[in-house]
Amino acid sequence: MSTTDGQVVGVVKLIDHGPASDRWNLVLMGDGYQAGELPVFHADADAFVAQLRATDPFGSIFSAINVFRVDVQSTDSGADDPAACGGTGATARTFFDASFCNQGIQRLLTVNTNAALSTASAQVPEMHMAIVIVNSPVYGGSGGGVAVFSRNPEAPEIALHEMGHTAFGFADEYEYYQGCGSGEAGHDHYAGSEPIEPNVTATIAPGQLKWRNLVDPSTAVPTTANPNCSQCDPLAGSPVPAGTVGAFEGARYFHCGAYRPEFTCRMRALGNPFCGVCQDVIRRHLEPFMPPEA
C-alpha cells in the first residue's frame, strides 16, 4: 500500500548517450513486480524503449535521450483492482500503490505520484520524466506528473500519449469530454482565450494560426468545420490526404471553436502517429540535448 511495501534494489542506465547533465533523461520504474518478477519488468522496460525508438520523431533524435531503469520490488504482485469498477477486488501491497478504478473509471490506473517522482529523482537527479509500468495484464494507464501504464499489450500507447502531455505540454485533441453521443452539456463551443498548448488553437485568422509555417498554401483553413456543434463532427475520415496540416474543428474536449492540426493524431486517438505539429514540438524540445556532431 506504500513505499513500506517493497524497496528499490538498483538502477541501470539502459540507453547511454552521454552524461545525464547533457541529455534528456527518461526514468522507467515498475510497480507490483515481486523480486522474482523483476526479469519480467526488465523485458517490459526493454520493449517500451524499443517502441519509443520506433515512434516518430524519437528515432531520428534518439541520441538526445538517456533511459534509466530503476528496479523496484513490491511485496505483492499486481495492483489494486476494486470490485466497484468490475475488477477482481484484489488489494496488492505495492511500492507505489498502483490502483485501477480511479474516479470510478476502471482503466484509470494511477500510482502515488509524489512517491514515484521522489524515487525517480533520488536515483536519477537529472531526471526529466518518469514512467511507471504496472505488473497487471488489465488495460489501463494515466498521465500527469508521472505517466503510468500496465502490461496489457495495448497499454504502452497510453504512455506515449501521456509523454505528449507531461514532457511536451500537448493538449488532448479529441473533441469530447465524456464521449461522442453521450449527450454531454457544456462542450458545444470553446469560448476561452487562446490555448497555451502548442497543438490546439482557437485562432484561425489569416496569418495568426500558430502552426502556419507547417500549412501548405493550398490547404483550406479551416480544413474542416463541424456543421452541428451540439455533437462531435460526424466525419468518419479525413477529407484531405493523411499528414495534411491545417485546422480541423473539434479539439480540447469541445465540439466546435477549438482546432487541431491534423485530422487525427496520437493526442486524439491512440494508435496513430503524432501529428506534424506535435513532432515538430518534440524535435525542437529535444534537439538542444543532442550530442555535438563529431
What is the full DSSP assignment across the chain?
--TTSEEEEEEEEEE-SS-TTTSEEEEEEEES--GGGHHHHHHHHHHHHHHHHTSTTGGGGGGGEEEEEEEEEESSSS-BB-GGGTS--B----TT--BS-BTTBTTB-B--HHHHHHHHHHH-TT--EEEEEES-SS--EE-SSSEEEESSTTTHHHHHHHHHHHHH-PPP--S-SS-TTS--SS-SB--SS--SSTT-BS--STTT-TTGGGS-TTS-SSSB--S-TTS-----S-SS-TT--S-EEEETTEEEEEEESSS--TTTSTTSPPPHHHHHHHHHHHGGGSPPP-
Say which residue, 293 or 244, is predicted with more confidence: 244
Task: Provide, rounded to the nearest whole percent, the portion of the chain with pLDDT above 90.
Answer: 90
Range name among 7-16, 23-32, 113-122, 143-152 with the lowest pLDDT average: 143-152
Average pLDDT, the chain: 95
Residue range 81-106: mean pLDDT, rounded: 94
Residue range 61-89: mean pLDDT, rounded: 96
Categorize the per-residue pLDDT at 183 as very low, low, confident or very high, splitting at 50, 70 and 90. Answer: confident
| Beta pairing class for 129-134 and 254-260 | unpaired
Residue range 47-53: mean pLDDT, rounded: 96
- What dotted CATH number matches 6-168? 3.40.390.10
Query: What residues does each domain of the chain span?
Result: 6-168, 172-294
Overall pTM surpassing 0.85 (yes/no): yes
Rounded to whole angstroms, the Cα distance separating 150 from 147 reads 11
Categorize the per-residue pLDDT at 47 as very low, low, confident or very high, splitting at 50, 70 and 90. Answer: very high
pLDDT at residue 149 greater than cutoff 50: yes
Q: What is the pLDDT of residue 294?
A: 43
Residue range 166-170: mean pLDDT, rounded: 94
Categorize the per-residue pLDDT at 160 as very low, low, confident or very high, splitting at 50, 70 and 90. Answer: very high
Residue range 220-224: mean pLDDT, rounded: 96
Categorize the per-residue pLDDT at 2 as very low, low, confident or very high, splitting at 50, 70 and 90. Answer: low
Categorize the per-residue pLDDT at 178 as very low, low, confident or very high, splitting at 50, 70 and 90. Answer: confident
| Model confidence pLDDT, tens digit, residues 240-283 | 999 999 999 999 999 999 999 999 999 999 999 999 999 999 99
pLDDT at residue 181 greater than cutoff 90: no
Q: What is the pLDDT of residue 1?
A: 52
